[in-house]
Amino acid sequence: MSFWDVPGVKAGVITGDAAWALLAHAKANGYAIPAFNCTSSSSVNAVLEAGKALGRPVMVQFSEGGAAFMAGKALPNDKGKLQASILGAVAGAQFVRAVAPAYGIPVLVHSDHCAKKLLPWFDGMLEADEAFFKAHGEPLFSSHMLDLSEEVDEENIEICKKYLTRMAPMKLILEMEIGITGGVEDGVDNSGAASEKLYSTPEDVFKVYEGLSPISHMFTIAAAFGNVHGVYKAGNVKLQPELLANFQKYAAEKTGKPNPLFFVFHGGSGSEKSDIATALSSGVVKMNVDTDTQWAYWEGLLNFYKKNEGYLQGQIGNPDGEDKPNKSYYDPRKWVRESELTMCKRVQESCADLKNVN
């Protein structure tokens, strides 16, 4: 069955039962949907363009810092209020909603890591979801992530339960993290985390299932199996994706249901193809990609500059003559477009890695 045959799936942003059914289709058919952190309409467009080229679903996600950038760095973003982050995430989601149908593919719009200190951001987005739901019968976003992995597991799960209770009437999907993703991402530094925190246990993961499933089945788990944000030399990151199969087996034995867990792969940039394949076979339905696409976006600009350096030193004067204008080279539409093209190519590579191809 094609993903187009999944009930409710359409071109544009999908939410609720349709979004969850698409994740279930991915799980049943051995692929996952990559989620890309975006900070501008340009990076959003690069993701959507890749999805259009492949004819496959994609996810656009905004981090708290990325959302603030989306709104504009000149705006106040006070601690405890995070008003620019709220505005940027809402504006980003509305932009995706406006343009995604034209690309002819299903799109999920998501908010990334939200630590305890960032909960005002989460609250603001949920208020926007509730207002949109009241007006349109669906939330603004498809899903949100709570990353309370720095807290003790009991508090992590209790806060997730509280928010999932609020999200469930809108059929919003919750992504939660148990165990820590190492490295540094968006100002959150887990580079000094204890090694044991980088690997969840079957018991840890099943506690999440026990806590959340009575409220709603619409949740995914970013379980730790050695994941690290960023890209490192080979051997520096010791992923153990085979742990995910152990988590599934333990949960299946406890519930009597085959493969009941929906997993998210964090720190996907720079991962070995074999590790991605192992994760897919164990119920991963989403993988986050940020560092690799950041580099790809920059590389487009870098290559453009190298190729046209002589035409980018001033408004007038280039290798063709001292009085020749350079507007056609420094026009942002030229060099920003080159960044979009290289990012689009890298997005397609992630889709291929996750078997999210026709």
List residues with catalytic annotation: 112
User: Around Cβ 168, how many Cβ atoms within 10 Å?
Assistant: 16
- Whether residue 113 contacts residue 25, with contact meaning beta carbons closer than 8 Å, is answered with no
Residues 6 or more apart whose CB falls under 8 angstroms from that of 228 comprise: 181, 182, 183, 198, 237, 267
Burial of 340 (0-12, 13-18, 19+ CB in 10 A): buried
- Whether residue 60 contacts residue 96, with contact meaning beta carbons closer than 8 Å, is answered with yes
Whole-number Å distance between alpha carbons of 113 and 109? 14
- DSSP per-residue letters across 119-143: HHHHHHHHHHHHHHHHHHSS-SSSE
Residues 6 or more apart whose CB falls under 8 angstroms from that of 12 comprise: 97, 100, 101, 106, 107
The owner of tokens 């030193």 is 313
Strands 321-325 and 316-318, by their bridges, are antiparallel
- Whether residue 129 contacts residue 137, with contact meaning beta carbons closer than 8 Å, is answered with no
Burial of 182 (0-12, 13-18, 19+ CB in 10 A): buried
Whole-number Å distance between alpha carbons of 189 and 180? 11
User: Around Cβ 320, how many Cβ atoms within 10 Å?
Assistant: 11
Q: Three-state SS for 330?
A: helix
Counting every residue written for the chain, the total comes to: 358
